[in-house]
A and B are shown apart, each in its own frame.
Chain A
Amino acid sequence: MSITPIAATGSINPLSGLSSTKAAESASKAGGVDFLSGLNDAAEVTKVADQLGQQLATGDLTDLHEFTAAAAKASIGIELTVAVRNQALSAYQEIMRMQV
């Protein structure tokens, strides 16, 4: 018994007037990617601060302020990431509350 292969369906005509939704979708996707790279950057600066802290503890660090500056940078980087996350989350929640 042969199974009839699934025939390709004809192309679905796009609904007119949805282009703005599409644009919004791609924008939010791009926002997500940016947010992820922001997270990676925050992780990177934290790693640098950790390394400097270790060097400070072992006495290999010649410039004391480099550690404190890196720690400040890591702290502000994380704060920035969290702020972006909060803003994005509140934006999504705003969309979820939308009446359909």
Chain B
Amino acid sequence: MSLFQALHTATSGASVARVWIDAIADNVANMNTTRDPGEEPFRARQVVAESVTDRGGVGRGVRVQRIADKPGDPIIVFDPTNPQADEFGIVRRAQVDLGEEMTNLLLANRVYGMNITVIQTAVDSYRAALRIGA
């Protein structure tokens, strides 16, 4: 525990939210990605967060534990004109749920902003303490 622990904790939260936004950006960018036949199709990625705790104290924030692939089968599309189609004209497209990604983007945006608000409010609180006796 340091003097300005809330700042560190909220910063770690904002960092995880930033990674989350990065992952969503990558998922949306690869929405139409196809791969050559035989290759593993693109899978949407999700961020797995993990809390950082001291034994017997309040937590010290959060960190990215790992980046996991989202489960689900790729979308199978019949598109013989696609250069990446196999001999039957089948293309396996990335499984990206746009609705889910957009909802997550809103959520990640809010999480980021809320952590920034916590930083701001913590600084305001510390400043209030400095006004004692002044």
Indicate which residue in A63, A68, A77, A87 contacts B133 across the interface (CB closer than 8 Å): A87
* Contact assessment for A69 and B10 in the assembled complex, using a CB-CB cutoff below 8 Å: yes
For A80, list chain B residues within 8 Å (CB).
126, 130
B123 interfacial by beta-carbon distance below 8 Å: yes
Say whether, besides A79-B127, A79-B130, A87-B133, A72 and B116 are in contact (CB < 8 Å). no
Complex contacts, B4 vs chain A, CB 8 Å = 73, 76-77
Could you say which of A62, A69, A83 contacts B11, with CB atoms under 8 Å apart?
A: A69
* Min CB gap B92→A, angstroms: 32
Query: Closest Cβ of chain B: how far from A74's Cβ, in Å?
Result: 10
Contact A66 B15 (CB under 8 A): yes
Cα A83 to Cα B132 in complex, Å, equals 10
Asked if B96 lies at the interface with its beta carbon under 8 angstroms from chain A, I say: no
Asked if residues B133 and A65 are in contact (CB atoms below 8 Å), the reply is no
B127: chain A residues at CB < 8 Å are 76, 79
With contacts A83-B130, A87-B133 taken as known, whether A72 is within 8 angstroms of B123 at the C-beta atoms is yes
The number of residue pairs between A and B whose CB atoms lie closer than 8 Å in the complex comes to 43
Residues of B within 8 A of A63 (CB): 11, 14-15, 18
Q: How far is the CA of A64 from the CA of B19 in the complex (A)?
A: 12
Q: How many residues of A contact B (CB 8 A)?
A: 17
Minimum Cβ distance to chain A for residue B4 (Å): 5
In whole angstroms, how far apart are the Cα atoms of A79 and B126 in the complex?
10
Interface check B134, CB cutoff 8 A: yes
Residue of B nearest to A90 (CB): B133
Enumerate chain B residues within 8 angstroms of A66, measured Cβ to Cβ.
11, 15
Q: Cα distance A10–B81 when bound, in Å?
A: 108
Query: Which residues of B lie under 8 Å from residue A65 when comparing CB positions?
Result: 11, 14-15, 18, 112, 115-116, 119
B7 within 8 A of A: yes
Q: A63-B15, A65-B11 are in contact. Are A83 and B123 (CB under 8 A)?
A: no
Question: Which of chain A's residues 38-93 have a Cβ closer than 8 Å to chain B?
Answer: 62-66, 68-69, 72-73, 75-77, 79-80, 83, 86-87
* Chain B interfacial positions (CB closer than 8 Å to A): 4, 7, 10-11, 14-15, 18, 112, 115-116, 119-120, 123, 126-127, 130, 133-134
